[in-house]
Amino acid sequence: MSDAADQTDAGGDRTTAKPALLSTRMTGSLVRRMIAIAAIWISLLLVGGGFALDRVLTGAITRNFDGGLEYVLIAMIRSSEIGPDGEVRLLQPLGDQRFLEPYSGLYWQISGEGQEPYPSRSLWERRLDITDRHDDREVHVYDSRQFPDEELRVLERDVMLPGSKTKWRFQIAASRESLDEQVRAVRATLIPSLFLLGLGLIVLAALQTVYGLWPLRHIRRAIAAMRGGQNNRVTAPLPLEVQPMVDELNALLAHNEKQAEEARLHAGNLAHALKTPLTVLVNSATGSDDPLAETVRREAATMQRQVEHHLARARAIGRRGAAQARANVWDSVESVSRAVAALYPDVRLDATGDKTLVARVERQDLDELVGNLLENAAKYGGGSVFVTIARDGTTAEIQIEDDGVGISPADRDRIFDRGVRLDSNKPGTGLGLAIVRDVAEIYGGSVALEESEDLGGVLVRLRLPAG
């Protein structure tokens, strides 16, 4: 059915490039990474700052609470004197009414060695614990759990009153309930406030990160536009920090285009330089029945086709670099069909499908692709060729069917190997499908052989990026 295709070096490059592309791993999102770092750092600062602020506030509340109790303790000491029997007594009662109410949560007690404790009425039958493990010449503050239902804050001091040889211990005790309520009230305000502050800072950091990295989205869209053929450079205005990278990218693109153009020109010059001597060889061997002349004609024709093959690839690579090629598929099929019909007048060529479909490929290269496929179908088919043009998402698809004998599934893969020809009785160099495959893949397309359900022969499915 079709000419054999050689496996070019470019094909080798393609087979090695795909695994490299697949092995590329993303390292995560910059936005998520920066927001996570900001969130962790903000959380650590707020937790540390909140803990320190909690210590400061609760310490201030506790000192204020202790200060009130110490004021009462000093007042009690100043109003104390020794009675005629050596007992201690208060010259005037303490002003807080709670000292007179049983279990009111505010208590005082005076104790001396060998003396019965002198308690406030609020203690009722209970007494404050006394320990001799320390000498409280200064005010001693501690928490006591001696009452099961009430935790106390106790201030005590040892005093030698005038006219007495006994060391008296003055104690003021207050329930911690009011102190703990104040601490809870502070924390009930502090914790939600710090949480809202942290949330607001994280949201602010997220907005700052997204806004700061937003120019990278412009670069991504600009690169996508270059790949899609709308532009060939990144021209959007960008911040000062990003612009140098974009300038380097544009310079790299210009450098690559220049190198590709130079390589294309060198390949074209070499191909054209070889075509003239080959033409001379073919003309010299034409008309001679000598076996050597036949060999020269055959091999020279093969060399000419090889030159055309690589010249077509060089042209396609150079044009693809511009990324702005566009060609109407229907116009190309019609133009090529007229040329093939002139070569094979006995073959019927029909076409249908989308007449407005545009492929992202140079018109000359599209004619080369369609021409090779239509010529193969006309040469090896049974006399009828049908072309269908359709769009499949972002792909322009050209289906070429013939009514020939077809190709077995095993041979559909083998026919692309170098030097394989399924029908050696008809002229050919075995490079037609190679050109089609290489040029299609250069433009990001593909070509595949299938069985035609309608005509019974071969269906060639050519897929190219749609414009």
CATH number of the domain enclosing 381: 3.30.565.10
Q: Which two tokens stand for residue 436?
A: 């089609």
Query: Strand pairing of 118-119 and 358-359?
Result: unpaired
Structure confidence at residue 284 (pLDDT): 75
Domain boundary among 126, 154, 175: 175
Task: Give residue 211's identity as a one-letter amino acid code.
Answer: Y
Is residue 180 over pLDDT 90? yes
Query: Strand pairing of 80-82 and 395-402?
Result: unpaired
> How far is 429 from 302, CA to CA, in rounded Å?
5
Q: Is residue 276 domain-shared with residue 155, that is, in the same domain?
A: no
Query: Strand pairing of 384-392 and 348-353?
Result: parallel
Is residue 424 over pLDDT 80? no
Q: Is residue 329 domain-shared with residue 467, that is, in the same domain?
A: yes
In a domain, 14, yes or no: no
Q: Count Cβ atoms within 10 A of the Cβ of residue 141 and give its class: 0-12 exposed, 13-18 middle, 19 or more buried.
A: middle
9 pLDDT band, cuts 50/70/90, is very low
Mean pLDDT over each residue of the chain, to the nearest integer: 81
Domain boundary among 126, 142, 175: 175
266-270, 311-315, 359-363: least confident range: 311-315
Mean pLDDT of 295-316: 71
In a domain, 391, yes or no: yes
In a domain, 215, yes or no: no
The residue that leads in pLDDT, 315 or 116, is: 116
Structure confidence at residue 26 (pLDDT): 59
In a domain, 266, yes or no: yes
> How far is 408 from 388, CA to CA, in rounded Å?
22
Is residue 335 within a helix (H) or strand (E), and if so which, with residue range?
A: helix 329-343
pTM of the full structure: 0.52
68 pLDDT band, cuts 50/70/90, is very high
Q: Is residue 154 domain-shared with residue 270, that is, in the same domain?
A: no
In a domain, 344, yes or no: yes
Q: Is residue 352 domain-shared with residue 452, that is, in the same domain?
A: yes
Q: Which two tokens stand for residue 137?
A: 């010449």
400, 462 contact by CB (below 8 A): yes
261 pLDDT band, cuts 50/70/90, is confident
| Partner residues linked to 142 by β-bridges | 154
> How far is 47 from 58, CA to CA, in rounded Å?
16
In a domain, 277, yes or no: yes
Is residue 299 over pLDDT 50? yes
Mean pLDDT of 454-463: 88
Q: Is residue 258 domain-shared with residue 344, that is, in the same domain?
A: no
Q: Is residue 451 domain-shared with residue 359, that is, in the same domain?
A: yes
3-state secondary structure of 236: coil
Q: Is residue 349 domain-shared with residue 466, that is, in the same domain?
A: yes
Q: Is residue 293 domain-shared with residue 261, that is, in the same domain?
A: yes
Q: Is residue 311 domain-shared with residue 333, that is, in the same domain?
A: no
Q: Which two tokens stand for residue 317?
A: 């690579």
Structure confidence at residue 444 (pLDDT): 84
Q: Is residue 249 domain-shared with residue 334, that is, in the same domain?
A: no
| Partner residues linked to 465 by β-bridges | 395
Task: Give residue 158's identity as a one-letter amino acid code.
Answer: D
In a domain, 48, yes or no: no
Total domains, the chain: 3
Tens of pLDDT, residue by residue over 113-151, are: 878 888 999 999 999 988 776 676 789 999 999 998 899
Domain boundary among 307, 324, 341: 324
19 pLDDT band, cuts 50/70/90, is very low
332 pLDDT band, cuts 50/70/90, is very high
Task: Give residue 410's identity as a one-letter amino acid code.
Answer: A
Tens of pLDDT, residue by residue over 69-115, are: 999 999 998 888 888 877 888 888 888 899 999 999 999 999 888 78
Structure confidence at residue 294 (pLDDT): 74
Range of the domain at 155: 81-175
Mean pLDDT of 290-303: 75
Q: Is residue 335 domain-shared with residue 439, that is, in the same domain?
A: yes
- Name every residue whose Cβ is closer than 8 Å to that of residue 410 and which is 6 or more positions away in sequence: none
In a domain, 407, yes or no: yes
Q: Is residue 406 domain-shared with residue 372, that is, in the same domain?
A: yes
Q: Which of 415, 417, 438 is nearest to 309 (CA)?
A: 438
